[in-house]
Structure 1
Amino acid sequence: MLYLLLYGWYVWYNVGMYIRTIQRKNKDGSVVRYIQLAHNQWDPQARCAKAKVLFNFGREEEVDREALKRLVKSINRFLGPGETLRYEAETGAAPLKFITSRPLGGAWVLDRLWEELGIKGVLETLLKKRQYKTPVERAIFAMAANRALDPMSKRGVEEWVKEDAVIPGVEEIPLQQLYRAMDFLLENEAELQKQVYYSVANLLNLEVDILYFDTTSTYFEIEDEDEDGGLRRRGHSKDHRPDLPQAVIGLAVTRDGIPVRCWVWPGNTADISVVEQVKKDLIGWKLGRVITVLDRGFNSEDNLRCLQRAGGHYIAGEKLRSGKENTVQALKRGGRYQTVRDNLEVKEIVVGNGEARERYILVRNPEEAARDKARREKIIKELEEQLPHIKTHAKAVCELMAHPVYGRYLKLDSRSLPKIDRAKIREEEKLDGKYLLRTSDDTLSAEDVALGYKQLLLVEDAFRTLKSRLELRPVYHRLEDRIRSHVLLCWLALLLIRIAENRTGQTWCSLRATLQRMQLGEFSGTAGQVRQRTETTPAQKQIFKALAVKEPPLLFSINPTAKKNA
């Protein structure tokens, strides 16, 4: 009964669908007529029905008007809400057959953002210098959209575009065209990232006075590493896979989590060796006053001096247990904490005078302090249970003393047996929930320094997105250039989804699930072929509004079949 009511409502709603002719008068006095498909829609403000154009067929002399009338008659009897479409096709109650449907909403939104952010325009400008006959820009977009919507190999992308997705402006892209587009992408890597940054920064009015930079690693499912100079090398693995060759990936993001630029280095590259290249690559980007925020792994004196060249500044994390003289003095210095946002307490400390003067901010998080205390008490309890059973076996003693967790709280007694170091526990208690920051900028408040460093988590979140949602790994490519291009595609996809998340306040997982429920159906019958999307749901309307993206047309294409002469 519910189905009959819904279907009856929809037929009534669309009973006004009709073919109409409009005309335009040229300057020479000639008149051109165009054929449109329209239906009457009630305007509550004007309190009357107004014509809404559903589809433009083109000039009157180029259209078979009678064929259109037959097809529109079929549409009026058939097309309705998504469930009705399939039901009518399966029951044979309508003259059109349901052929197939593919997700539309996700690719449509990404394509609109792609164009709005200027990425399409940048690529088209770069392509003017080349004589490509293939849709390179569409191929690059298709691969970036695939990363965001349904990550797979490039061979899989070929079939995905043809059978499982709706990519505006293209029906299929052969594998070789995808590879050719990847080569073009890498050839223009530096200029592309720079121009995309300019376009995005101007459009979104980004505040790029602070950059957050960090690195991660991604491994390859191969046994042998590349020779010297190659990209796939063994090194310090942040994925805990030291047995596999890897590449090191660097990422710089803004305070809003918008990725500004990415880098790829060989897997044996040390973090502290990349800062100079990052600084050099960003020269000339018109970033204004840049304060680079670095994690503890980057704060060598050489790196910090490099960042201060050309007027740059830094906020860098300091290792609390490094033993450095200035660090020890900063931790011993007395003074009151000031409570700031995000449950943080800060204390400003200055060590030294003149050119040797260093500014530190000691930060304490009470909630994290409670967690540190609970973790330590659990470890001590486990040690108190284990130690009575430890014998004088040298190997067992060595293993326990070298343990990365337990060894920190142990020392050897007069019998060379491990025992709990109570003095060390008291020292550790003083560090609960604390971290130490060092900055070269005296104009930043202690609160800005603390909150700025906390935003470094944006980079870590971006890396998690790259590895999980965008499936940066596994990398199927063997050639180094293709690997680098693959990372660039992931960067483009990350840029799109970060914009979408920031504007809507929703996670990409939620956005993708909602948008992909909008399907484009294909129907065929004796009167012709039609491609129509499903109705926009309230949740989808909300997303389109938040993103300032226009909804897709209800009817994508109408191809009537001409009636054969008897």
Structure 2
Amino acid sequence: MFIKVTTSGPRRYVQLVEAYRDAEGRPKQRTVATLGRLDQLNTDLESVISGLLRVTGKTMPEALPTPSLAFEPARDYGDVWALTELWNTLGFDRLRQIFKRTRHNIDVEALIRVMVLNRLCDPDSKVGVLRWVETIALPGVMAETIEHQHLLRAMDAMVDHKDEVDQVLAGLLRPLVDQDLAVVFYDMTTIRAAGLSQQSDDVRKLGMSKEGVIARQVMLGVVQTAEGLPLYHEVFDGNTAEVTTLKPTIEKIIARFPVKRVIAVADRGLLSTDNLAELQAIQLPGGGALEFILAVPGRRYADFVDLLAPFHAEHCADVNNELIGEVAWGNLRLIVAHDPDVAAQTSAKRDNLIEELEKKAAQWTSTLDGQDGGKRKRGRKLSDGGARARFYREVCDEHLTRIIQVDLKSELFTYTINERSLTHARMMDGKLLLVTNTKDLAPAEVVRRYKSLADIERGFRILKSEIEIGPIYHRLPDRIRAHATICFIALILYRVMRTRLYASAAGMSPERALAKLRRIQHHTVAVNGAQPVAGLSNISKEHTEILAALAIKKPTLKTQLTLL
């Protein structure tokens, strides 16, 4: 039987109806009783229910008690899940085999993974990692067991087994490198180091940072492919000259990634006469020679003035569009890219600076002449030596010492404009000079390859911003190198994510994708003091699309944990 509401005119009635089958087996319904009008029963419904219960010999049930719910704080899950899956699919879990044979009784691979993921999700100090793991549910890791000393011991293990770690990294990167032609880019940057203590073999040295100030720092060299994949890194002393690091670094790359043809591309700070000779002597494992594309630093432009003067007069003097050509330079090619708009802007800026400096010089000269003629002014008397020092300092600040030449030996304040140097400077404005030994690349292709070097600068910005490699708070040289390796691995994961997101036209950066995945959270609730139950928040369509773009399966709850 069941309750049914029927309508008769404007009234609605509540009836008790029985369902049955007739003699032929057809389903039928019949009214057992009419309980009354619906509008009247609304005010006396409980008495009707209690009456029916008395007829059946039952009593009114008591209200069910409100369940007791205990919620634990939600933990971020989606981002660390995605990075863990990426870590395993790329092959970084092979590090576990290395550290199984070590003297350490901790899971070094899991601890390294924790530190790498922290760099990408919420970069912080090693102590800060301990605070971060309290806010995440890391698949396969009991985060509560991690201590600060465990992180440091894991870093020490990385250094103790550096060669094996490098082999694993090279092994998982080798399939991603073109075996026929590898265009590799090399550049260096400075990483600020904190602390005042001194260590034996300290790599933290005072040097000129990329920001143009003297600071305690280390130098970091990075090699990457044309596709933006980091291949190799090395930490150098903070006062190391960039030019001395190019040859040994390229030799290590050739040894790790034996490809048929390698073209090394490097920036202005890495070109010298010695480097050119050394690079031309490097032989590939297959017997070929190393090829290179190096930018000529501005301080070396004077070496090419006589060589470029005829080229400039013939091709660059009256052009309105960018021009690319080449000039033979011994057994090498000198590629010249000339942009007339940049040339005009640079020349105008220099001419304005020279004009302003000459105005100041004229004012000081007038003041000195007036003083010699007996004209007196309030304030301190100007001297030839003071005017000369102030003017020379301003000329140096504007990098015009080759053009505005101050006579520092004369007793009087005097200077000259070197018209030859000014003419040479104007001729070099708007020009990019590249030295290469490639034979089959057109000049425009050489320029395009070099301009791709800008991507490694973006990699440095990622290291310094999203990954926050510096300032470095470690003081021991080996710990500094281990910290750099952790950040380098994080950069590999970042660049792989970037490549996959770009290929799928997802239209977002890796940090944006991780921020969205972070909304997938891990929840734990206990009902009436029973065993807690874990679950995940809903996975939206956007989450599914991001995971698909990254070639990662949807997150699930992994209950198998690693005791650290």
Q: TM-score, normalised by structure 2?
A: 0.73
CA distance in 2, matches of 1:531, 1:469: 31
Q: What 5-or-longer segments of structure 2 have no aligned partner?
A: 1-64, 284-288, 366-383, 503-507
Change in 2 beyond 3 A, CA 1:552/1:111:
same
Tell me the equivalent position of 1:186: 159
Alpha-carbon shift at residue 378 of structure 1 (Å): 5.2
Q: How does 1:56-135 map to 2 (within 5 A)?
A: 95-121=68-94, 123-130=95-102, 132-135=104-107
Native 8 Å contact 1:107 1:167 kept in 2: yes
Secondary structure (helix, strand or coil) at the match of 2:346 reads helix
Q: Which amino acid aligns with 1:512?
A: L
Q: Which amino acid aligns with 1:515?
A: L
Alpha-carbon shift at residue 487 of structure 1 (Å): 0.3
Alpha-carbon shift at residue 147 of structure 1 (Å): 0.9
CA distance in 2, matches of 1:144, 1:237: 26
Identity %: 30
Q: How does 1:526-565 map to 2 (within 5 A)?
A: 526=528, 527-553=530-556
Native 8 Å contact 2:522 2:536 kept in 1: yes
Please tell me whether residue 397 in structure 1 is matched to residue 381 in structure 2: no
1:263-293: per-residue Cα shift (whole Å, max 9, x none)? 0111222112222321332243213311111
Tell me the equivalent position of 1:62: none
Change in 2 beyond 3 A, CA 1:95/1:280:
same
Please tell me whether residue 160 in structure 1 is matched to residue 132 in structure 2: yes
Tell me the equivalent position of 1:510: 512
Tell me the equivalent position of 1:430: 427
CA distance in 1, matches of 2:540, 2:414: 69
Alpha-carbon shift at residue 145 of structure 1 (Å): 0.7
1:439-494: per-residue Cα shift (whole Å, max 9, x none)? 01212221221111111112222112111221111212121111110000000001
Secondary structure (helix, strand or coil) at the match of 1:430 reads helix
Native 8 Å contact 2:139 2:558 kept in 1: no
Native 8 Å contact 2:271 2:294 kept in 1: yes
Match of 2:451 among 441, 445, 454: 454
Q: Which amino acid aligns with 1:530?
A: V
Tell me the equivalent position of 1:351: 329
Match of 2:521 among 514, 519, 536: 519
Match of 2:240 among 261, 264, 269: 269
1:139-185: per-residue Cα shift (whole Å, max 9, x none)? 00100111111111112212322x11222110222222211211121
Greater CA drift, 182-191 or 107-116: 182-191
Native 8 Å contact 1:226 1:233 kept in 2: no
CA distance in 1, matches of 2:240, 2:181: 27
Please tell me whether residue 293 in structure 1 is matched to residue 296 in structure 2: no
CA distance in 2, matches of 1:378, 1:207: 51
Tell me the equivalent position of 1:256: 227
- The structure with the largest alpha-carbon Rg is 2
Q: How does 1:351-430 map to 2 (within 5 A)?
A: 351-352=329-330, 357-365=331-339, 368-369=342-343, 371-373=345-347, 375-376=349-350, 379-380=353-354, 382-383=356-357, 386-391=360-365, 392=384, 393-405=387-399, 407=401, 410-411=404-405, 416-417=413-414, 425-430=422-427
CA distance in 2, matches of 1:420, 1:379: 13
Native 8 Å contact 2:199 2:476 kept in 1: no
CA distance in 2, matches of 1:125, 1:140: 13
CA distance in 1, matches of 2:124, 2:308: 50
Native 8 Å contact 1:105 1:518 kept in 2: yes
1:173-203: per-residue Cα shift (whole Å, max 9, x none)? 2222211211121223233234323323315
Q: How does 1:146-225 map to 2 (within 5 A)?
A: 146-161=118-133, 163-172=134-143, 173-202=146-175, 209-223=182-196, 225=198
CA distance in 2, matches of 1:264, 1:556: 37
Please tell me whether residue 443 in structure 1 is matched to residue 449 in structure 2: no
Change in 2 beyond 3 A, CA 1:424/1:269:
closer
Alpha-carbon shift at residue 514 of structure 1 (Å): 1.9
Native 8 Å contact 2:179 2:260 kept in 1: no
Q: Which amino acid aligns with 1:147?
A: R
Native 8 Å contact 2:336 2:434 kept in 1: yes
CA distance in 2, matches of 1:365, 1:98: 65
Q: Which amino acid aligns with 1:288?
A: K
Native 8 Å contact 1:330 1:350 kept in 2: no
CA distance in 2, matches of 1:556, 1:416: 80
Secondary structure (helix, strand or coil) at the match of 1:443 reads coil
Q: Which amino acid aligns with 2:78?
A: G
Greater CA drift, 263-272 or 411-420: 411-420
CA distance in 1, matches of 2:181, 2:142: 38
Please tell me whether residue 465 in structure 1 is matched to residue 462 in structure 2: yes
CA distance in 1, matches of 2:252, 2:511: 33
Q: What 5-or-longer segments of structure 1 have no aligned partner?
A: 1-91, 338-342, 559-566
Change in 2 beyond 3 A, CA 1:240/1:223:
farther
Native 8 Å contact 1:330 1:351 kept in 2: no
CA distance in 2, matches of 1:175, 1:126: 22
Q: Which amino acid aligns with 1:542?
A: E
CA distance in 2, matches of 1:408, 1:512: 51
Please tell me whether residue 498 in structure 1 is matched to residue 495 in structure 2: yes
Q: How does 1:38-53 map to 2 (within 5 A)?
A: none
Alpha-carbon shift at residue 347 of structure 1 (Å): 0.7
CA distance in 2, matches of 1:315, 1:108: 41
Q: Which amino acid aligns with 2:509?
A: T
Secondary structure (helix, strand or coil) at the match of 2:210 reads coil
Secondary structure (helix, strand or coil) at the match of 1:528 reads coil
CA distance in 2, matches of 1:207, 1:493: 27
Greater CA drift, 196-205 or 281-290: 196-205
Alpha-carbon shift at residue 409 of structure 1 (Å): 5.3
Q: CA RMSD for the aligned pairs?
A: 3.0
Native 8 Å contact 2:301 2:428 kept in 1: no
Alpha-carbon shift at residue 331 of structure 1 (Å): 5.2
Change in 2 beyond 3 A, CA 1:319/1:156:
closer
CA distance in 2, matches of 1:330, 1:543: 52
Secondary structure (helix, strand or coil) at the match of 2:260 reads coil
Native 8 Å contact 1:108 1:552 kept in 2: yes
Q: TM-score, normalised by structure 1?
A: 0.73
